[in-house]
Amino acid sequence: MVIGHSAAPSVAAMSTDLRRHLGRTGERIALEHLERLGYRLVARNHRTRYGELDLIVHDDKTLVFVEVKARHASARAGSPLDAVSPPKQRQVRRMAAAWLCEAVARPRAAELRFDVVGVTVDAHGRLVRLEHLEAAF
């Protein structure tokens, strides 16, 4: 037993925590935006064997799988929408197919859609820019 010593969190752990916090902030802002548009939340952070679906929302006719990408305004990574590459699109489609097979009590919809919402926030987590690309892929 070591007394008076506490292990400091690693840089990697702190980096992961910051990324997770940024992701959760982006998802919250994206969901608020979608709710203002009339969508209702079906699922958030749903885990499948292929990965995690950020948001699933619906209105009376469309079920929407939403990939949320968040960035800090100071980041040099470009638009958050640039991060949804063709391999990521394939992964989201696989996750959506898995969810559709597993979710028995889900809203029925005439249409399915894949949207991307890019959220850029400042150092204090305040929204700087929101980009919503409907039917992104």
Q: What is the pLDDT of residues 4-36, one digit of tens each?
A: 444 555 545 546 778 888 999 999 999 999 999
CATH number for 82: 3.40.1350.10
The rounded mean pLDDT for the chain is 88
| Residue 12: predicted pLDDT | 54
Burial of 96 (0-12, 13-18, 19+ CB in 10 A): buried
Q: Token pair of 132, please?
A: 């919503």
6 in any annotated domain: no
Model pLDDT for residues 119-132, shown as the tens digit of each residue: 999 988 899 999 99
The residues near 89 (Cβ < 8 Å, ≥ 6 apart) are 114, 136, 137
Confidence tier at 48 by pLDDT (50, 70, 90): very high
Q: For the residues 56-66, what does the mean pLDDT come to?
A: 96
User: How many domains does the chain fold into?
Assistant: 1
Measure the CA–CA gap between 89 and 40, rounded to whole angstroms. 23
Measure the CA–CA gap between 122 and 125, rounded to whole angstroms. 5
2 in any annotated domain: no
Q: For the residues 107-134, what does the mean pLDDT come to?
A: 93
Q: What proportion of the chain, given as a percentage, has pLDDT over 90?
A: 69
1 in any annotated domain: no
User: Measuring CA to CA, how many Å separate 127 from each of 25, 55, 56, 73?
Assistant: 9, 19, 21, 9
Q: For the residues 80-93, what does the mean pLDDT come to?
A: 90
| Residue 77: predicted pLDDT | 63
3 in any annotated domain: no
Measure the CA–CA gap between 137 and 98, rounded to whole angstroms. 18
Cβ atoms of 99 and 56 closer than 8 Å: yes
Closest of 129, 116, 130 to residue 85, by C-alpha: 116
Sheet holding 40-48, edge to edge: 40-48, 51-58, 62-72, 111-121, 127-133
Q: Provide the domain limits for residue 80.
A: 11-133
34 in any annotated domain: yes
pLDDT above 70: residue 75: no
